[in-house]
Amino acid sequence: MPIDSEITRYRDVLALPAALRTFIPALVGRSAYALLPLSLLFAVHDLAGSFTAAGTALAGYGFAGILLPVKAGLIDRHSQARTLPVLAVCAAVPMAVIAVVSPANAALLVVLATSAGIAAPPLGPAMRSSWRSLTRGTPLKRRAYALDSTCEETLYLGGPLVAGVLLVVWSPRAALLLVVVLLLLGALGMATAPPARCRVHETSPAGPWTLSRGPIGAPGLRLVVAAILVTALGLSMTYTCLAATASGQGRPAVAGFVEAAIGLGSVVGGLVWGRLEIAASRSTQLARLIAFLGVGMAFASMTTSLIVIGISLAIAGLAIAPLFVVSYVAADDLAPENQGTEAGSWVNTANNLGSALGASAAGLIVDNARAQWGFLAGAVALLLTVAVVRLSRKSLDTTPAAQ
């Protein structure tokens, strides 16, 4: 996999017409999502005086993410220009009520947080849909997706740190109000960018939205979504078992450092991956990256040394961003032209669902056995997924036009 000799700089992606005009607002809007968890958690806690209420509010916001494909489908049907502003305002109003009106009723706070989650605009899938439009006719799509994924990873890596500073310097409600402002600026900026204003009416999906009529009906996309769900499950189990191992050795802070190292590895891996010239098929790329992660988890299961675990997982982290790049590009290629936003959103949905299931499963393992069994279970799940991907490679490597 040599370094691409034809176009070797991410600058070429950003030099595309309207790329910066679209990408900068997308990053601004997504930075709101990176700041939101801690801001919302502590804002609700301050008002309700209960971490139970705060946790329930945050869970309500997160659970609403299951509606992501529905919102993405609306964008495919009605354009970003029409859909993003409406969703952004509907998401911003409940958060603004929490930050400004400051109700103390726990049930009302949970309802407001859940309402914000229901309406939260799918800025990530929308930006990837814009990249699809911006890179059409060029060899830059994979590189654009790599840049997008690594920037998003960086935001979520630094978001909690920035939120922590804001909570100390300001207050949770002030931080939540900043989330509202960033979300509105980002969504409205994307909605007024050239790719959002372009709309081809004749290619819009006809009829009402249904699950069976969406891109998830394609066997290849279902395989990608299933692979991401299991991978996210394994990664979430790893994070939980890492925290349990560090806590059991009286060094809980080490878990945070290792997670940061995994995130940094992912950023580096994504940037390098985007500059590689890769001839392997989609299924081969997906299988190799998942296997790389699985082997790292397997090594972590063989020891209780936090240093060895940290090194193993940091190296394995190199595959995380590339895995999502491959998955997003595959979802884009396997979906019809008029359903790209929804197709990409299924990858996000699978990741969120897998993370939730993995945390729950790892909790059960840690409470009833050793954390190393959790690492091993995650590794086995990923390696079994590799086998499934290889056995089903025809559906993944065949484009819709050829099916």
Write a three-state SS string for 8-19: CCCHHHHCCCCH
- 330 shares a domain with 186: no
- The Cα 341–Cα 77 span in angstroms is 10
Residue 209 maps to a domain = no
Answer for the pair 265, 153: CB distance below 8 angstroms, yes or no.
Answer: no
- 276 shares a domain with 349: yes
- 311 shares a domain with 168: no
CA dihedral 317, 322, 325, 326 (to 10 degrees): -120
- 34 shares a domain with 100: yes
Q: What is the CATH number of the domain that holds 249?
A: 1.20.1250.20
- 221 shares a domain with 167: no
| pLDDT in single tens digits along all 403 residues of the chain | 455 544 447 888 999 999 999 999 999 999 999 999 889 989 999 999 888 888 888 888 988 889 999 999 899 888 899 999 999 999 999 999 999 998 889 999 999 999 999 999 999 999 998 998 899 888 888 899 989 989 988 998 888 888 888 888 888 999 999 999 999 999 999 999 998 876 544 344 445 545 555 777 777 888 999 999 999 999 988 888 888 888 888 887 788 788 888 889 999 998 898 888 788 888 899 999 999 999 999 999 999 899 999 999 999 999 999 999 999 888 888 877 778 788 888 998 898 888 888 877 887 888 888 889 989 999 999 999 999 999 888 877 776 544 4
pLDDT for the residue numbered 395:
78
- 315 shares a domain with 191: no
- 124 shares a domain with 23: yes
The H or E element containing residue 151 is helix 141-169
| Structural domains in the chain (count) | 2
- 234 shares a domain with 173: no
The residue among 203, 236, 252 that closes a domain is: 203
Domain residue limits at 252: 215-402
- 124 shares a domain with 31: yes
- 220 shares a domain with 180: no
- 128 shares a domain with 239: no
**3-class DSSP assignment, residue 3:** strand
